[in-house]
Structures are given as C-alpha cells and as structure tokens.
Amino acid sequence: MRIGIIGAMDEEIALYLEAMGEPAQTVKAGITYYEGQYEGQTVVLCKSGVGKVNASVCTQILIDTFQVDKVIFTGVAGAVNPELTIGDIVVSTDCVQHDVDVTPLGFAPGQIPYTEKWVWEADAELIQLATDAAKAITDEIQVVHGRILSGDQFVASREKVQWFYEQFGAACTEMEGAAVGQVCSMNGIPFVVVRSMSDKADGSAHVNFLEFTKLASQRSFAMVQNMLRALSTGAGTAATAAPSVIVYSAKGCIDCDLVKKALDAEGIAYEVRDVMSSPEHQEAVEKLGFMGIPVTVVGDKAVKGYQPEALKELLGLK
C-alpha cells in the first residue's frame, strides 16, 4: 500500500524526514516529494503550499506520478464551531469550498455550478483511524468529526465565522482541504483531512503561533504514525470490513446533529450525505422509503430520526 501524506508545516515535514531515513526525492511542479518506507508502509510525503491550486496540483501528482492508494492531509485551521478551542483536533467528515459563490444564478453557497457533487466526503476507514490515533496522543483536547471549509482567504471576521457555522454547519476553516478532497474524490482515492485548531478564525484568540506550530507538528506526526501502525497491523482492514455508516442529513437539522453527536460519542466513523447539496442523496432517502431526515443507514437497514435505542440496535451496540 502506498500512502500519500501532505503536511502543511516545515516542522512537521522535518519530523517525517528524520523518521524515514534517506527517502528518494523527486521535484515536480516545484514541489518536493519524498518517497520511502515508514511504519511498514510505502510513504510519499510532500508539502503542498498555501491555497487550493497548490493543494490540487500536489494531490494530482501524488495520484498520477506516485500512484498512492490513500491520502492523509494534516495541518492547522481556524475554529468555526464555537465549542472548539485552540489545540482541539477536527477529523473531516466532508469538505466544502466556501468561496465558490454563484448565488446570483440560483446556486447555493459553495455549490459548483452544473455539477451534481460539491461536498467531498472523507473515507470512513481513515476517519476512524485518524480519530483513534488522535485520541491516543492526549486526553487534554477535544477530537471531533466535522465539516472542513476551504477557501483562498485568511478568515478573521466574527461575522463571517458565524455565517460559516450557520450556512455550512462547519467545524473549522482553512485554505486547502476541500481541494485535496475534490481531487481525491474525482480519482476514486480515499482521503481524510485532519486539522489542529490554531485560532478561533475571528481574530479573538491570541497565541504564540510559532510555539503552537511546533506543538501541532508534533501532534500531527504522532497521529499519522499511529495511523500507519494501525494499517500495518491490520486494524485498517478490520475497519474496512465493518459495515459503513451513512447519515443522510442537512444543515440546521437538530435531529441530524443529535444523531451525529451520538455516533461521535460511541467513536463510530460515519459518512455524512447532505440531501440539500445533491439530488442523488435525496433520491436515496426516498428509495429507502423515507420522506424526511435524518436517516442513518448500515448495510440494508436504516433508522429515521433520532431514536437512541433503535440506533444502538442498528449499530450492534445492544
């Protein structure tokens, strides 16, 4: 298996390079790629650079030139969910580009015109691996699942952060993750984006960024190390064999949020499918015989609404 690892910080890249020994180096499109063995896996490491274009180019090269099977992207982000604070970790359920705006033509904020898909779902196995790996590092921070927003702008506005939370139901915002997610999805490559909160994204939090970057780099390195070990020992295979959990939901749906919080509390990875962003998702709910949301699906069984006991039975927790 070949794992593509995209780091965001020089400090983080340095930790990998030290652990990988003497990896082979290839420079393509101005980006240096390091290929070698680490924790029983063939790893291709790179630093994407800032912004969605850089991230897209970097990811496509990982797929085309190095033929990676999975992509893990780590780095820092600004918190959007008001319950998050500096140091907390967000594992992506999905990614959306917040700066795509064709609303004058009747498209929703973030929606890519004339395409059926604009929400990029992370891989359930990698979500679970990242969650377990992050929780094993420290119990001093929150590790949560959530939507990650991306855009070519540094956000430092309380009003914009509030809008992000209300419009998209986002956990955090940064500048690359959705581009990585889109490229991976278009190529059929499983991915996950993991972000450490460096600030509140509204200009209110003050932190020694250099010190935090060092800490975040160490945590990202340790987390990915744990993920690779789990893949090498077969934990990832077990996760793949387990029935995947799909939650059909929509922004602003209270019962949808309750279902997701219940799954998070049990440490269960799940894929979120927003029925408002895709007609296919809406049709899928209707084919299951339901007219509303949330709908939680495992295999050929489903539960509508927030029903704790029914959900436990569905998930095999009873």
CATH number for position 215: 3.40.50.1580
Same domain? 157 vs 276 = no
Domain-ending residue, one of 186, 209, 242: 242
Per-residue model confidence as pLDDT tens for the chain (318 residues): 899 999 877 877 888 888 887 889 999 999 999 999 888 888 999 998 888 999 999 999 999 999 999 999 988 888 888 888 888 889 999 999 888 888 888 888 878 888 878 888 999 999 999 998 888 887 778 889 999 999 888 877 788 888 888 888 889 989 899 999 999 999 999 999 999 887 765 565 556 566 777 777 788 888 888 888 888 776 554 344 344 788 999 888 999 999 988 887 777 777 888 888 777 888 889 888 898 999 999 988 899 999 999 999 998 886
The alpha carbon dihedral of 280, 195, 180, 169 has a sign of positive
Domain-ending residue, one of 242, 257, 287: 242
pTM score above 0.85: no
Note the Cα 174 to chain centre separation in Å: 11
Same domain? 67 vs 101 = yes
Domain span holding position 286: 243-318
Which residue type does 121 have? E
Q: What share of the chain is helix, strand, coil (3-state, %, to 5)?
A: 40, 25, 35
Residues forming the active site: 12, 199
Pairing of strands 301-304, 295-298: antiparallel
Instruction: Round to whole Å and give the CA distance between 23 and 2.
Output: 14
